[in-house]
């Protein structure tokens, strides 16, 4: 079982870099659907991801259709949008026998509206006030990914950490 963080045509390099760091820290795959407004080798993306890029399982897709063709079971594709009735924490991500895909849209316009309208059962929202248009993309990716991992009992992740000096005793 693998969790996939899917970015649809990302526009802000720093967000993608931060999400790459989340992907590396959670052993998730980072799927990016092109086109992008920047290159992964841009200084700002590398800086935001720090020195973890070699730990990121990065997969590029040239279109939404190409990406969808790689998803073996569309029941485990979740579209994260503010235009949904179901809250992300009400979704069931607990099945560890399948891959889960959490798709996030462009920072400026989100996911394509026709795609969301055709798949309302896949749409999940993160509750927020009406004081803002949206939460930061990298924060949203972390929220949903960690909720899924919580439901999966944090499979594959350290649940506690020993300080280096404790290991020396």
> Which residues belong to the annotated binding site for S-adenosyl-L-methionine?
80, 105, 126
Residues making up the annotated binding site are 80, 105, 126
**Distance separating alpha carbons of residues 141 and 103, to the nearest angstrom:** 9
* CA nearest neighbour of 10 among 137, 163, 102: 137
């Amino acid at each position: 079982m693998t969790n996939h963080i899917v970015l649809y045509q990302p526009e802000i390099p720093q967000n993608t870099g931060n999400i790459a760091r989340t992907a590396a820290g959670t052993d998730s795959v980072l799927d990016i659907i092109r086109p992008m407004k920047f290159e992964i080798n841009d200084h700002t993306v590398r800086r935001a991801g720090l020195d973890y890029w070699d730990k990121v399982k990065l997969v590029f897709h040239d279109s939404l259709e190409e990406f969808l063709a790689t998803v073996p079971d569309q029941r485990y594709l979740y579209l994260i949008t503010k235009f949904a009735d179901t809250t992300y924490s009400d979704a069931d991500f607990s099945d560890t026998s399948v891959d889960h895909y959490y798709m996030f849209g462009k920072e400026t316009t989100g996911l394509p509206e026709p795609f969301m309208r055709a798949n309302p059962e896949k749409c999940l929202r993160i509750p927020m006030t009406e004081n803002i248009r949206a939460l930061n993309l990298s924060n949203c990716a972390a929220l949903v990914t960690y909720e899924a991992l919580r439901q999966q009992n944090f499979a594959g992740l350290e649940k506690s950490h020993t300080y280096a000096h404790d290991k020396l005793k």
